[in-house]
Amino acid sequence: MKLNQLINDKIARGIIAGIIAGIIMEIINYPLYKLELLTLRPIDFSIMIIKHHGAKTMLDIVTGFVNHLFFASTSGIILSYILSYSNYRLPLLKGMGIGLGTNIMLLVMASFFKIKAVTNLPTRTILALNISAATAFGLTAGYILNYFHKRFDLALK
């Protein structure tokens, strides 16, 4: 399959943009975690959805990372469709909205399932995670999808 054909598919380009944005999000959030601005990394958050505790082993870290990329690729697909239907207007803003919305949805889901490690997060962690996640994910995914749109001259269907 040629790259042009792959990028022409909304789902495939959403997955690609979401995975790249998810990796960038992890890269940006890790220093924030090491500086103790965050008490929780996206990897920890993702593994908590499954195991109700943070990443303690290498297997937990890998599982959390794969789960995080799944959520990121799903958000990338949603953003791909939203941008396609809105003629790629304001892709970075819409990407940040999807990034923030996904993060808030996961926090709500964690409180619904009473995951104590997430429901007891300090406010600064929630704010830093939301701001860094929305910015990192939104700007990256929005930029990549807009790049695909311009570079490959995608038909707006």
Over residues 50-73, mean pLDDT: 90
Q: How many helices (H) and strands (E) does the chain have?
A: 7, 0
Q: What is the pLDDT of residues 3-13, one digit of tens each?
A: 778 888 899 99
Over residues 52-65, mean pLDDT: 89
Q: What is the reported pLDDT for 108?
A: 87
Q: What is the reported pLDDT for 156?
A: 56
Q: The whole model's pTM is what?
A: 0.90
Number of domains in the chain: 1
CA 69 to chain centre: 7
Residues contacting 41, CB < 8 A, separation 6+: 26, 29, 30, 33, 55
Instruction: Specify if 157 maps to a domain.
Output: no
Instruction: Specify if 19 maps to a domain.
Output: yes
CB 83 within 8 A of CB 20: no
Confidence band (pLDDT; 50, 70, 90) for 95? very high
Instruction: Specify if 42 maps to a domain.
Output: yes
Instruction: Specify if 139 maps to a domain.
Output: yes
Query: What CA–CA distance (Å, rounded) separates 135 from 141?
Result: 10
Instruction: Specify if 113 maps to a domain.
Output: yes
**DSSP secondary-structure letter at 89?**
-
Instruction: Specify if 81 maps to a domain.
Output: yes
Residue among 50, 74, 53 at smallest CA distance from 118: 53
Structural domain harbouring 138 = 3-151
Q: Out of 9-13, 17-21, 31-35, which region has the weakest mean confidence (pLDDT)? A: 31-35
Dihedral, CA atoms, 86, 96, 27, 84, nearest 10 degrees?
-10
Over residues 84-102, mean pLDDT: 91
Q: What is the reported pLDDT for 82?
A: 95
Query: What CA–CA distance (Å, rounded) separates 84 from 40?
Result: 33
- In this structure, the number of other CB atoms found within 10 A of the CB of residue 108 comes to 10
Confidence band (pLDDT; 50, 70, 90) for 85? very high
Instruction: Specify if 116 maps to a domain.
Output: yes
Instruction: Specify if 156 maps to a domain.
Output: no
Residue among 19, 4, 2 at smallest CA distance from 79: 19
Q: What is the reported pLDDT for 132?
A: 83
